[in-house]
Chain A
Amino acid sequence: MCTTCGCGPHSDHHHDHEHIHDHEHIHEHEHTHGDQSHSHPHPHSHDHDHGDQHHHHDHLHDDAQPHQHSHDEAHRSKKITIEEDILAKNNRLASFNRALFKEKGILVLNLVSSPGSGKTTLLERTLRDLSGKYRCAVIEGDQQTDNDARRIAATGVPVKQINTGAGCHLDAHMVMHATEAFDLDQLDILFIENVGNLVCPAAFDLGEAHKVVVLSVTEGEDKPLKYPQMFHNSGLMLLNKVDLLPHLTFDVPQCKEYAGRVSHDLAILEVSATSGQGLDGWYGWLERELGR
């Protein structure tokens, strides 16, 4: 079993990622671990050293190891204090991803929006414009189809599809395994197109540097107030389809003001993925983020 994620053995499992365990123990209560040193059933080459033999893992509690918990004995029922974040497992794997991306020097962006705001179109254009400058890859989240992944593949960039089925968001575990499809040493930027949904993906950290929220001008200027979580959690807002503004009553300054209420330091760029308007600003933003 993979001790990082708790999965059974995967046929095409790289264990590159198993060896950057600098993440910390999130649990607040005490655990006793059996002191097993870490071993993998399949041989693999490590591209860096680990100093310790014993890998200190955030465990997943699916082990049968005893936990020390406070026991408030009261009659026949026993209270067990847990104090555990419901998203702890996702957050732990997201920290793991983040450490891996940092080690590999990859800028990872999580593109979020409602359906049809133009994420894939924006990516197609960006990948073509930046080919030759940066080495990019894309993870495509979609409930059912691989349409977007095929559109990305046509740009010549490596792409990994994740079908979430009924799931309305990507999570860190899915992303962790999706990255196994890429040679991370050969990447500068990894774009993750999340499932089109302005609610659920807000809660799930994937290990990205930033969420980039794409809002198109056909959706109405009040969306930042209606879906505050998403805008609050994003580092950049791309206001897309500005080529359509002459045909609409969309109030750009009002929209920006609303977004600023929810996230006072949110960067906002006006772009059109189809006309190319404003994309230089987006590419400049990417360049600055890569330089960090």
Chain B
Amino acid sequence: MHEMSLTQGIVDICLQHSGGQRITTVVIEIGTLSGVVPEAVEFCFSACSSDTLAESARLEIRRLEAQGRCLDCSTLQPVERLYDPCRHCGSYALEILSGEEMRVVEIEVDD
């Protein structure tokens, strides 16, 4: 289950930036086409953060809608699944512009 290693990555990034202070909130962004299941990240987060400064931090997950551009008719559009056709012309030649990313946005720490 690779959500485990990804979540470990999230916790590592937070700890590196926490300046040794207790982390109260972690905000991450997950693109809808990243292949990552938010519930699984939530589940892994408590395991990965236990016994660290991020233990008991609140995890806020923001979903990022994916955007694509049709290579045939150039229409910009939201993309729900990687195999969806262009909403305008039906072509499958959609270039994914965003929505595959996973990012730690910010944290809040005790001051």
Contacts and interface: CB of A to CB of B under 8 A. Distances in A.
B109 A225 contact: no
A79 B17 CA distance: 11
A82 B106 contact: yes
A62 interface: yes
Given A82-B17, A86-B28, A168-B1, A73 B103 contact: no
A89 interface: yes
Contact of B9 (A78, A89, A262): A89
B20 to A, nearest CB: 10
A78 B24 CA distance: 9
A69 interface: yes
Interface residues of B, number: 42
B103 A83 contact: yes
A73 B111 contact: yes
A290 interface: no
Contacts of A258: 83
Contact of A76 (B16, B85, B111): B111
Contact of B105 (A67, A83, A89): A83
Interface string B1-18: 110011001101110111
**Would you call the interface of chain A mostly helix, strand, loop, or mixed?**
mixed
B66 to A, nearest CB: 12
B56 to A, nearest CB: 14
Contact of A80 (B35, B83, B109): B109
Contacts of A89: 9, 12
Interface stretch (A143-151, A198-206, A210-218): A198-206
Interface of B: 1-2, 5-6, 9-10, 12-14, 16-19, 21, 24-25, 28, 33-36, 71, 81-83, 85, 91-94, 96, 101-111
10 contacts: A61-B17, A79-B107, A80-B18, A80-B109, A81-B105, A86-B6, A90-B9, A171-B5, A202-B35, A264-B71
